Amino acid sequence: MTVEKGSRPLFVGVDGGGTGCRARIVDASGNILGQGLSGPATTRMGVDNAWASVLRAWQGAAEEAGLDPSDAPQVHAGVGIAGLSRAGSLEQLQILAHPFASVRFISDGAAACLGAHSGRDGAIVIAGTGSIGLAFIGGEEKRAGGYGFPISDEGSGADLGLTSIRLALRAFDGRRERTPLLSEVMARFDGEPARLIGWMDKATATDYATFAPLVLRHADQGDPAARQIVQAGAAHIDALVRRMVDYGAPLVTLLGGLAGPLEPWLSPDVRRRLKPPDGDAVSGAIILAQRP
């Protein structure tokens, strides 16, 4: 679509996450003009680096839309960015020079919540590598959990993986019954706790989360240890959804890589509160950019 430059404002939404950054440019009617991608955009890598990734995604979208740098002043930007809760991150972003007509920042989770409910009251619970509950009620942001692995993020992929390793070590010691899941976990370390300990010294939440598909597969096959782990994880997700409802969220959207696999394990009352997302985090960032 050809952009009629200078005729009316444009909007760019950016979803900056720990694995990548996506940008989308739309016009006032919501028509998509261009999209762009770049690398991670999280404050963990430094505010300057995160902002550079945001700009690369914007530039990719602008190129696809047929825009050049001189057109940026007609563009209003909304940016969802990972790690925004880190002390001082928002303030550092707000003082950075930018080329846009305006720019607003929000956490990547909050952008996902806005997109999931088209800017209306509602909540999301994310069950991926980590976990968090987040709601917008009367324009006010509410949250629960999501303080980071291993102190938080219950019911996440990393949490399921960590629990599987803990139980595997107990089974190795004879402190609990060995099951196919727990045997397979130990087999990944050649049955040697010393190798597991060496792995643990460098393992990240993402590394622990690689065990979640294994846990879910064995749970579906009836493994008692796997079922115990998944049931406990689902109970944590249940609690996050119920907390969002307590905040006043009429409906909750379950997001993240574990959303589908965990949903059948959730309590019936929780499942009745769930709805599919209206849009994604980029849509939410665009909603932010369009607000007066």
Exposed, middle or buried by CB within 10 Å (0-12, 13-18, 19+), for 136? buried
Could you list the residue range(s) of the whole structural domain that residue 90 is in?
10-100
Instruction: Inform me whether the pLDDT recorded for 159 exceeds 90.
Output: yes
Instruction: Inform me whether the pLDDT recorded for 170 exceeds 50.
Output: yes
Domain boundary among 58, 76, 100: 100
Instruction: Say yes or no: 170 and 264 in one domain.
Output: yes
Q: Please check whether residue 253 lies inside any domain of the structure.
A: yes
Q: Please check whether residue 124 lies inside any domain of the structure.
A: no
pLDDT in tens, 211-248: 999 999 999 999 999 999 999 999 999 999 999 999 99
Task: Give percent of the chain with pLDDT exceeding 90.
Answer: 90
Q: How many residues does the chain have?
A: 292
3-state SS assignment for residue 145 = coil
Looking at residue 5, what is its pLDDT?
53
Q: Average pLDDT in the 253-280 region? A: 97
* CB-CB contact of 43 with 85 (8 Å): no
Domain boundary among 55, 71, 100: 100
Q: Please check whether residue 57 lies inside any domain of the structure.
A: yes
Instruction: Say yes or no: 67 and 170 in one domain.
Output: no
Q: Please check whether residue 140 lies inside any domain of the structure.
A: no
What lies within 8 Å, CB to CB, of 10 at 6+ separation is 3, 25, 26, 27, 28, 33, 67, 71, 74, 75, 76
Q: How confident is the model at residue 19 (pLDDT cuts 50, 70, 90)?
A: confident
Instruction: Based on DSSP, count helices (H) and strands (E) in the chain, helices before strands.
Output: 12, 9
Instruction: Say yes or no: 91 and 162 in one domain.
Output: no
pLDDT in tens, 183-211: 999 999 999 999 999 999 999 999 999 99
Q: Average pLDDT in the 17-33 region? A: 94
Q: Please check whether residue 286 lies inside any domain of the structure.
A: no
Q: Which residues pair with 32 in a beta bridge?
A: 26
Q: How confident is the model at residue 18 (pLDDT cuts 50, 70, 90)?
A: confident
Domains contained in the chain, number:
2
Q: Please check whether residue 28 lies inside any domain of the structure.
A: yes
Instruction: Say yes or no: 265 and 182 in one domain.
Output: yes
Instruction: Inform me whether the pLDDT recorded for 4 exceeds 80.
Output: no
What lies within 8 Å, CB to CB, of 22 at 6+ separation is 14, 15, 35, 36, 37, 57, 281, 282
Task: Give percent of the chain with pLDDT exceeding 70.
Answer: 98
Instruction: Say yes or no: 165 and 239 in one domain.
Output: yes
Instruction: Say yes or no: 96 and 164 in one domain.
Output: no
State pTM to two decimals.
Answer: 0.88
Instruction: Say yes or no: 181 and 248 in one domain.
Output: yes
Instruction: Say yes or no: 81 and 177 in one domain.
Output: no
Q: Please check whether residue 123 lies inside any domain of the structure.
A: no
CATH number at residue 162: 3.30.420.40
Instruction: Inform me whether the pLDDT recorded for 143 exceeds 60.
Output: yes
Q: How confident is the model at residue 292 (pLDDT cuts 50, 70, 90)?
A: confident
Alpha carbon 217 to its chain centroid, in Å, reads: 23
Instruction: Inform me whether the pLDDT recorded for 6 exceeds 70.
Output: no
Looking at residue 264, what is its pLDDT?
97
Instruction: Say yes or no: 162 and 240 in one domain.
Output: yes
pLDDT in tens, 68-82: 888 999 999 999 999
Q: Please check whether residue 81 lies inside any domain of the structure.
A: yes
